[in-house]
Structure 1
Amino acid sequence: MRNEREARGVRGAREAPAPDPVDARIGTRLAELRAEHGWSLGELAERSGVSRSTLSRVERAEVSPTAAFLNRLCHVYGRTMSQLLSEVESGPAPLVRAAEQPVWEDRASGFVRRSVSPSHTGLRGELVEGRLGAGAGIAYDRPPVPGLEQHLWVLDGTLEVTAGDVVHRLGTGDCLRLRVWGPTRFRCPGPEDARYVLAVVLP
């Protein structure tokens, strides 16, 4: 009986789905950053406001990180999300073809993010393409870097951007410039999906 139970346990382990490769690389890099700062999971939880269990599960790639989660950790580590994501990709190059631009999806919100600019941690500016489905929204409780400058250009659809207490409703072709110091929220009211370009400039 014992051998049968052990065999079932092995079969169950083998049948468990493998973690998403991107999630695994992100988890590894986040664990490296925490180790570089000499922080325990508890210390990082206090600094980020994210529970220890969630931090641990993301580092082990047991769950996929959301954009809001990554934004909180980017704030703690003083880097933009593009910089963090570029650190889990291959080395920097001056040209990146459309088919090779990294795409990351926040499955919880339906937000899809394409890193358009070639990755390089030493540059201050970057371009990002974002897509939100009709009715979807994503909220950030703080900027990854205080005073971050953003230029948001809507390519298709309608997008509502809330910065502080001010709500901006943008249609196709509209462009919004803002400096981000506090919470922001992006929402696609529909009826069509929203696609936009976000130019990000470090202060």
Structure 2
Amino acid sequence: MKDESAAASDINSRIAARVRALRAQRGLTLEALATRSEVSRSMLSLVERGESSPTAVVLEKIASGLGVTLAALFDDEPAAESSPVSKAAERSSWRDPQSGYRRCNISPPGYPSPIRIVEVKFPAGASVAYENAHDGVHQQIWVQQGRIEVTLGTRTHTLEEGDCLAMALDQPVRFHNRTRKPAHYIVVIAGELPFNARK
């Protein structure tokens, strides 16, 4: 793993470049993306310049407005020559400033694939709620350590070490660690939200 401060700077720069590129590809102004994502124009501008530390919830709203999953914002731009191998020593983790949870994209950066693998380390007592539904996107959560609650819509699933939950992200979802110990889980994401399906 990279030095923490260097890794944070690298990921902020990557997110900034990715948001700028995705917005340009879709022909959206900052104002248009602000309307679609329900994130202020000023915050979007700070994110695109790499001058903000947005929360996971804010980033998920931006991703939804762009028609991609949250994991896609942590990727490099897809390229024809991207390596199909992801080296552990080259990965960087990102820390949500609100909940303290850490996420790390395991999948090869920039490699064109409909599947993404993400590793999450979730602190004791942490909670994160994503309000946007993503039709056509599926994910599975495989708990490696600890216990978490995952609420999809109105149904809550309690997952313990070794448990795996498969779900379609067609409803709001909330993650909660009610225990006094951190949890560690793997997320496998398949599919992408069609841009033209968004409001």
Cα drift, residue 88 of structure 1: 5.9
The 1:95/1:122 distance shift into structure 2, 3 A limit, reads: closer
Question: Which of the numbers 49, 52, 58 marks the counterpart of 1:63?
Answer: 52
Cα drift, residue 89 of structure 1: 9.4
Aligned to 1:22: 11
Tell me the TM-score normalized by structure 1. Answer: 0.81
Unaligned runs of at least 5 residues, structure 2? 1-7, 193-199
Aligned to 1:127: 117
Aligned to 1:115: 105
* Post-superposition CA distance 1:25-80 (Å, at most 9, x none): 32233123223333222211111111111111211222112222221222222222
Structure 1 segments of 4+ aligned residues over 4 angstroms from their partners: 88-91
The answer as to 2:61 corresponding to 1:97 is no
Q: How many residues align?
A: 184
* 1:23–1:65 Cα contact (<8 Å) kept: no
The answer as to 2:31 corresponding to 1:42 is yes
Unaligned runs of at least 5 residues, structure 1? 1-18
Of structures 1 and 2, the larger Rg is shown by: 1
Question: Which of the numbers 21, 25, 29 marks the counterpart of 1:32?
Answer: 21
Cα drift, residue 199 of structure 1: 1.1
Q: Which has the higher contact order (CA 8 A, sep 6+)?
A: 2
- When the two chains are superposed, the root-mean-square deviation of aligned CA atoms in Å is 2.2
Matches within 5 A, 1:1-203: 20-87=9-76, 92-143=82-133, 145-202=134-191
CA distance in 1, matches of 2:109, 2:14: 16
The percent of aligned pairs where both chains have the same amino acid is 37
Tell me the TM-score normalized by structure 2. Answer: 0.83
Secondary structure of the residue aligned to 1:181 is coil
* 1:162–1:184 Cα contact (<8 Å) kept: yes
* 1:127–1:198 Cα contact (<8 Å) kept: yes
